[in-house]
Structure 1
């Protein structure tokens, strides 16, 4: 994905690229923020994305062209922007969408975007001033971005020539200077020559009257696609995606940490912690775009901002059995579910929204292999991951005793609500809310119930049962229900009152809501940061803890698990350096990342002595700079 990089980001990318080149193909758990897309380019990339899902979500494709993409910085959709700024017709694209003709849509959308690029190139060449020419060239380049990474992957020699042509075009467009000083005139001949290189390539590859039918839609040039050459297209997220950590960042409560035990003294737990944060255990596209377990479950909780078009029906939700992550596991149902919290995981079995997995180990394997298409994990990997997951604890809450009763700290309304919560009601078959959410059992019963919150898939279906969720910590996990249909705990109370005919008064509804809010509260729910206790310092401490498992792996000559660790941690350490407040210390972090790359390189060469030497140097350097990493 093309982007304009800041000097610091360029340095980071160089370091990470070096790590990738030496350590193999590296996926980052620290995703890079996308440069905003122009509406036409965004609509085209969303068309490719949606067109590769099965079944194809035609309503979403129509919206991609008619509305701004999610989080867009432009107020108009592609059709409106073209109508305002272009002489081109969008009828062919609209007709293909209406006909739900995937092949026709690909051809019409590809030709439309290529024509828009040509239109802007013509404007640049016809411009009478450098500023007008530069504006048109910039617009054309941003539109070409929708093709660029696929050209690079499929036709690298042409990509190089086109890159030079774009540079020449930008240079030949001249400059207005600063207050008239340093002005550079347009060079019409050079602009025409550079523009011709680009327009000829577009004509041969993206403006053809017919395109070969493609099993997988992509912007691979037609001359390459028609030749039958297999092309490895880089995995990318579509415009509008957001897989960044939730802000504020949830506080992580670990059982061993609360007891004063250092994670570095628990190598299996530390290795599992690394796996939880590593895209390397997943298959494509999750691995390449930087999705790890922690992408959805920030700090053991939920990521309420996680969103991928066609995969999430709303932020904080994901369809893990659709076509995007693993086509083999595609159930062909648009059934994205609200991401569940993993707090207190050792108490919350069975696992899965419908409780289909009794074992956390079995559930974890299913996530890696089936949901995200990863390779079969080793027994050690599953042992380590489960060991780490079982350390997740609930957030401390002074308003609730370990037995689940409210303390005197809770409000009078919450105490009145507690009585309602424990009261049998006719609408609940003479049971109470506490019958399923048992206070003394972490507000769980370990069973699945069909409360009528899901539409049956067919007449007579009994597929609406979902695992009883805990109520602990729920004040921070909105929205609620399996599909995130209810925005507040008050709306949950209203839903039960109305659908189960509980006949609660307004006061009782309010009191019951106050009770749920008290049970779901926490003393300190978010990670606290300061001038020196920065997000980077938190990441640095985590990554060096992950690396500490080399003290066990290297003496054991464990090649596979060592390389998985070095590939993950080296790249992430370099990537995270870009978030440092203390910029002067960044080169030292890049040097540490380089040392981990060296460990991996030595292991690949079966030089364990060199690997241990690099690791010893890493530990000494990390200890030396620890106070400066913030």
Structure 2
């Protein structure tokens, strides 16, 4: 009896962990792959909350594999192969663009699939087949799990326990015949009943209450009228992680031999650039920061969010997802621009609508991502940091933008073409706008015909001239990322502006653009000792160094923003360490920084100073072997 009670407690504890654990809000965590129909359901929920509804994308969610899927077929084809369930009603709802009906049919389909797999568990004649059916059913249940955990945590634990009991009661074939156990049919049926009864009451009902917001919340929770805040989540196929290889960050002050810890305003701005806390929900809760899109001042070419991106490296920042008040109701994701050399590239925004970097930055924080109004100190810090972004060094270019002798011959021929006036360009050359001695900019906006008029009779859009420096690493090109390569850019201008280039001239001009856009060391170089974690650790401890300035000022607001950001990120980054023995020390260090924040919240400045002093001492010890 004691052993049985202990196992019950253990199973309940494990169930709780399985259901309730999740990534820290400040740092995104990769998730396990989804089954095709579960992925399609989660995409339907996400896309169904956008305005206007992207019905083509919702249909594609069911017909095609989601981006990054381990399966080569879409949900409907998968269902035809694995299930007897008819998806005709779901397809009919999507065809007729009936949001509520699409939600109902998709929800019922997932619940029926879970029941189908549970039937297979009970009917299985050997443990291996039963356990496989349990795994499949649980992976399908995952589509509902966070909704249940949010609304009814106690029930979620009970169902988690039922899943564990179901799996453990299927029996075992043992090892080489030894240790084989028979299935416990009574326990299997009882555990299955717990799961099935809940599905019947919440996800297999005849009439669902109308949904203003689509979610996996159980029907009983909806009918209760309780205000339930559903944590935001990204759908399957999303990718908000840093690109690999990691872009090299070039900072003006570092090139001059100045340490960032001696520049507290810049260091605090560096922290803010990496902090999700300055944005509103959902960006904040999902761990999105400025650096998510502008990875180390460059372009994050892997970033992708279904419904907000049409391809990797693009995002619709004025759509319905990030800040509904700022929703322009247009499906117009833009290619993420590089921020390298930002102090040279004003005005700001794709169309140059912001004269100052300060105004542009405030618009991003408050309007695009729904953050609270930044304090003057925060704005000063962010701008001070971003103005330090520099271009990548390129030994094939002189300081005034001319090619050196080390440049390829084709590029040198292309340089002459770049400076040649063409009638199709109004007797101007490429260099007239992309001025080599001005960082390949003219700081003006031009209508080159790449933006279609929004409606008949409307003026087409003029776009700010982008720099060509570093562009070898920022494909695709144009404001909407419609041209995949620099060669395609040359072809577009030749064809639309009737330049009359020969094939050889196109090749040479492309070689010139590739050379201008190249760099000597575009990516960070890591080895066994100089690891990605060591780089992250150095950055985070640099952020924390600004506490030396903020503590004497008793600046609680800005200290708490820092400790909330850095403590969470430091703990999360510890998981990347190759030195496992030092990992507990890093967790403890993160806890020490959290102690600083806790003391500040309590108004205990003496305790805050003591915890900060301890953090500094321990950080010096950890740094020597933290990799």
| TM-score using structure 1 length | 0.95
Structure 1 position 627, deviation (Å) = 1.5
Alignment correspondent of 2:412: 415
Alignment correspondent of 1:91: 88
Q: Is the 8 A contact 1:27 1:568 kept in 2?
A: no
Alignment of 1:361 with 2:349, yes or no, is no
Residue pairs, 1:53-452, within 5 angstroms = 53-452=50-449
Structure 1 position 409, deviation (Å) = 1.2
The change in CA–CA distance for 1:386 and 1:528 in structure 2 (over 3 A counts) is same
Alignment of 1:469 with 2:466, yes or no, is yes
Query: In 2, distance between residues paired with 1:361 and 1:336?
Result: 23
Q: 1:553 aligns with which of 530, 550, 554?
A: 550
Residues 3-43 of structure 1 deviation map (CA, whole Å, 9 limit, x = unaligned)? xxxxxxx9xx99x989x9xxxxx6323x2111000011100
Alignment correspondent of 1:507: 504
Query: In 2, distance between residues paired with 1:224 and 1:398?
Result: 63
Query: In 2, distance between residues paired with 1:500 and 1:182?
Result: 78
Residues 271-314 of structure 1 deviation map (CA, whole Å, 9 limit, x = unaligned)? 00000001111111111111111111111000100001111000
Query: In 1, distance between residues paired with 2:155 and 2:568?
Result: 30
Query: In 1, distance between residues paired with 2:144 and 2:160?
Result: 12
Q: Is the 8 A contact 1:437 1:444 kept in 2?
A: yes
Alignment correspondent of 2:7: none
Query: In 2, distance between residues paired with 1:139 and 1:438?
Result: 59
Q: Is the 8 A contact 1:137 1:170 kept in 2?
A: yes
Alignment correspondent of 1:49: 46
Alignment correspondent of 1:27: 25
Q: Is the 8 A contact 2:451 2:461 kept in 1?
A: yes
Q: Is the 8 A contact 2:298 2:337 kept in 1?
A: yes
Structure 1 position 608, deviation (Å) = 0.7
Task: Give SS of 2:34's match.
Answer: coil
Query: In 2, distance between residues paired with 1:338 and 1:448?
Result: 17
Q: Is the 8 A contact 1:404 1:440 kept in 2?
A: yes
Alignment correspondent of 2:571: 574
Query: In 2, distance between residues paired with 1:463 and 1:601?
Result: 53
Query: In 1, distance between residues paired with 2:205 and 2:36?
Result: 23
Task: Give SS of 1:63's match.
Answer: helix
Q: 1:496 aligns with which of 493, 498, 502?
A: 493
Structure 1 position 184, deviation (Å) = 2.4
Alignment correspondent of 2:8: none
Task: Give SS of 1:368's match.
Answer: helix
Gaps of 5+ in 1: 1-9, 21-25
Q: Is the 8 A contact 2:243 2:302 kept in 1?
A: yes
Q: Is the 8 A contact 2:275 2:289 kept in 1?
A: yes
Alignment correspondent of 1:6: none
Task: Give SS of 1:287's match.
Answer: helix
Structure 1 position 401, deviation (Å) = 1.1
Computed over aligned residues only, the root mean square deviation of the Cα atoms, in angstroms, reads 1.5
Which consecutive aligned stretches of 4+ in structure 1 deviate over 3 angstroms post-superposition?
A: none
Alignment correspondent of 1:544: 541
Q: Is the 8 A contact 2:121 2:131 kept in 1?
A: yes
Alignment correspondent of 2:586: 589
Query: In 1, distance between residues paired with 2:239 and 2:21?
Result: 23
Query: In 2, distance between residues paired with 1:207 and 1:489?
Result: 53
Q: Is the 8 A contact 2:449 2:460 kept in 1?
A: no
Q: Is the 8 A contact 1:269 1:384 kept in 2?
A: yes
Q: Is the 8 A contact 1:27 1:280 kept in 2?
A: no
Alignment correspondent of 2:524: 527
Alignment correspondent of 2:606: 609
Structure 1 position 94, deviation (Å) = 0.5
Alignment correspondent of 1:3: none
Alignment correspondent of 2:4: none
Q: Is the 8 A contact 2:314 2:334 kept in 1?
A: yes
Structure 1 position 65, deviation (Å) = 0.6
Task: Give SS of 1:460's match.
Answer: coil
The total of aligned residue pairs comes to 611
Query: In 1, distance between residues paired with 2:215 and 2:181?
Result: 39
Query: In 1, distance between residues paired with 2:308 and 2:612?
Result: 41
Alignment correspondent of 2:595: 598
Structure 1 position 255, deviation (Å) = 0.3
Query: In 1, distance between residues paired with 2:365 and 2:182?
Result: 58
Alignment correspondent of 2:480: 483
Q: Is the 8 A contact 1:150 1:234 kept in 2?
A: no
Query: In 1, distance between residues paired with 2:430 and 2:174?
Result: 71
Task: Give SS of 1:628's match.
Answer: coil
Residue pairs, 1:1-20, within 5 angstroms = none
**RCO greater where, 1 or 2, for CA within 8 Å and sep 6 or more?**
1
Task: Give SS of 1:532's match.
Answer: coil
Gaps of 5+ in 2: 1-13
